[in-house]
Every structure is written in C-alpha cells, then in structure tokens.
Amino acid sequence: MICKFSLRFARLGVFLGMAACSQTDEPAPAPTPTGPETQKDIAAVDNAINSFMTTYNITGASLAVTKNGKLVYIKGYGLADRSTNEAVTPAHRFRLASLSKTYTGVAILKLVQEGKLSLDTKVFGAGGVLGNDYGTAPYNANVSAITVRHLLHHSSGSWGAASGGDVIDANPSFTYKQLFDWVLTTRPNPNVPGTTFDYTNVGYSLLGRIVEKVSGKSYINFVREDLLRGVGATQTELAGQTEAERKAPEVKYYGQGNDERFTYNIAFPRRDADGGLIATAADVLRLVTAVDGFATRPDLLNPVTLTQFTTPTVSENYACGIGIWQAERVWYNYGSLPGTRTGFMRHDNGMCVALLCNSRVDPRAGENPFVFAMQDLLLGLTKNTTHPWLNIDQF
C-alpha cells in the first residue's frame, strides 16, 4: 500500500444590444462590451484524458491546467461515485497520496526561510530538532548523522526498500510516538546518510513531526494556515481511512485487482506528511504556481529558498519533495495508493498541469504501461503548443 465535469460557471450576462440613434445628430453610443471569455472544451485534451481512462479502467479524474500562472482549463471526467452515477466536477477532492510530499517539502523550506530551521540540522539526539522524542538514546551512528536535508532527499540511509523495506503502514493502530519508537528500536540503519537514495515514506512522516515541533502547530494546520491560506487553496484536508470518513465533496476510490481490499484500509490520518492529504486539482496548482519560480504569481519561497527546494543531492532526479526531470525541463511529483493515482508537472515554458484519479492499475498486475501512459499524458499537456488555451484565469 506504499505511495507512490463539467466546469461550474457563474452565469455571465452578455449585453449585445445596439442603442438606437437618437432624434438628434449625436452619435450612437458604443456597443456594451461583452463579458469575459469562459472556458471552451478542447477536444484533443478531452479525448486524450478519456482514452487514457478507458484504456486503464479509471473511474474518474480531475484535470487542472495553468499557463503563465492563470488557470486556463479545469474539468472533471468520469464518475466520482459509481453507485449514484455522480459525475466528477472540479469541486471534487481526491486523495493526493505521495503528491503530499511536495506540500511537506514546501512546509520545511518555509520554516528554513523564516530562520526557524536549517536543512543541515540533525534530526535525532543532542542538538537534533527531534532530540530524544522517539526511540531510546544513544542512537547508532547512522541515525545520529541524519539531517533534515537527508529526510527531504530520501538519503537518510534508512527505512526504504533498499534498507529493509518501508514500514509506514506497519502497526496501523500505533500513534506516531509508538510507530517511531518501534522504528528506531527495531529497524536497521545500514547506510551512511547522504550516500544512497532510498525512497521512504517514514522519512517524510518524520518531517511532518519536525514541522509540528518547530511551528508549534499540527501538520495540517501549518499547511493550511501558513502555506495555503495565502494562495487561496481552501480545499485541502487530511484523508479519512474509511468510506464513511470521506469529506464532502470527495470522490469514492476504486481498487483494481488486489488493490480493492486495501482501498479503505490505509493508515490514515497517521499518514499525513508522506501521503495523507486530499485536495482539488485546482488547489494543487494553487500551491504549485506559488513555488514555480515564475513572475506570474507571487511565490511562497524567495529565490534563495526556491533554489534549495529544487536542487537535488544524492539523486539528480529528486530534490525536496519534487522530482527533477532535467532533460524535459520539468519539476513533478506523483502519488499512488490503492484506489488513487495523482500527478503534477511544472514546465520551464510556464505550463503546469495536475491530474487526479480515483483508481489505478494494481501494481502487482504490471503497472508500468499505466504509469508511463499517465506520465506521457502530463508531459504532453505541458509541452503541446497547439492546444487553444484561452487567456482566462479561473483561480
């Protein structure tokens, strides 16, 4: 279970009546200007999304596209709920899965920018940001050497597939305290921090605890109040575990194959900072366009901090909660959980796109064609210069 519509418009009156000539020689008044343009369907975009969904049995999806900081296209496809035949709209919220890590990366860098934290601060032990909060001191040498930067870059040397397996879903009834006490006591730490890329959800969950320790707020409150409120993203919350714990308007999730039995059996809300957020596609881009480095919308991070956010270390393809695809000039992130597949891309050309799905291909059934198809779909939407995006802003 490890991670990886129609548009609702306000009615706009368009007044096109030409005033009749008066009985004097005064010129007739100019025509009243029409209202602003509203979104028009783009068949090539819609056909590409629908074809992808049909091929991979995706029940519902939500798309958002920005160009130069403007939200130029938002649309829902398929169903939010099969049992009621409810269609997906841009207002529907989806589990973000590991796309949540981008929010955590931005949260940490915001604290760094405010002078409250350093990326090179040790995490555990004397002088560490978490001190002896978890496990039992003294820690082994590799644990004692872990820094905030190592957690952000998945280079802690611990708790990933290459170091005994990611155990984020182990003991789902445990509190954070119980989970990390168990992890630090029983899990190996075989690699020297800063030498190996080893993707781990445990590391990002620990970053959530660092956000809480430094800010004095819960993780979700810091994200909502210190990151998202200022950019108008109001539809981001923590995911619930069960179907009954969905937050309106949230889609239902549909597992394929072996995924079906795990779809509503994930350790939410404990999995907050590594994969536990829900949001709309438009709200995802409200965050992305607030850290994109373009001059079109105000950024949450200043240029110095943004450079830290986007600079890889051990892996040239991963920075602070975002992937770096240098050959294609994009930043990106993907999320994957039973019943969920998400992704966003930000291209150097000013385009950003987010696509959220309420199903995925079961990884055990061979997911690579599905994963690469979604990646190609996102990349095509950012790079294709023939799509007739209107010069409108629906943020």
Render pLDDT for 55-95 as a digit per residue (tens, 0 to 9).
999 999 999 999 999 999 999 999 999 999 999 999 999 99
Beta-bridge mates of residue 324: 331
Mean pLDDT of 366-377: 97
User: What is the distance between the alpha carbons of residues 138 and 190, in angstroms, rounded to a whole number?
Assistant: 17
Place of tokens 């589990």: 95
User: What is the distance between the alpha carbons of residues 226 and 300, in angstroms, rounded to a whole number?
Assistant: 9
For 61, the enclosing helix (H) or strand (E) is strand 60-67
Assign domain 43-383 to its CATH superfamily: DD-peptidase/beta-lactamase superfamily (3.40.710.10)
pTM to 2 decimals?
0.90
Confidence of residue 190 (pLDDT cuts 50, 70, 90): confident
Q: What does the pLDDT read at residue 18?
A: 30
Domain boundaries, the chain: 43-383
Q: What percent of the chain has pLDDT over 90?
A: 87
Closest CA to 234 of 245, 249, 244: 249
If you average pLDDT over every residue of the chain, what do you get? Answer: 91
User: What is the distance between the alpha carbons of residues 44 and 52, in angstroms, rounded to a whole number?
Assistant: 12
Q: Which residue has the higher pLDDT, 4 or 90?
A: 90
Q: pLDDT at residue 227 above 80?
A: yes
Task: Please say whether the beta carbons of 362 and 30 come within 8 A.
Answer: no
Strand 86-87 and strand 94-95: pairing?
Answer: unpaired
Q: What does the pLDDT read at residue 164?
A: 84
Task: Please say whether the beta carbons of 153 and 315 come within 8 A.
Answer: yes
Can you say whether the dihedral through the CA atoms of 131, 313, 198, 208 is positive or negative?
A: positive
User: What is the distance between the alpha carbons of residues 316 and 325, in angstroms, rounded to a whole number?
Assistant: 9
Q: What does the pLDDT read at residue 26?
A: 45
Confidence of residue 36 (pLDDT cuts 50, 70, 90): low
First to last CA, the chain: 33
User: What is the distance between the alpha carbons of residues 296 and 10, in angstroms, rounded to a whole number?
Assistant: 25
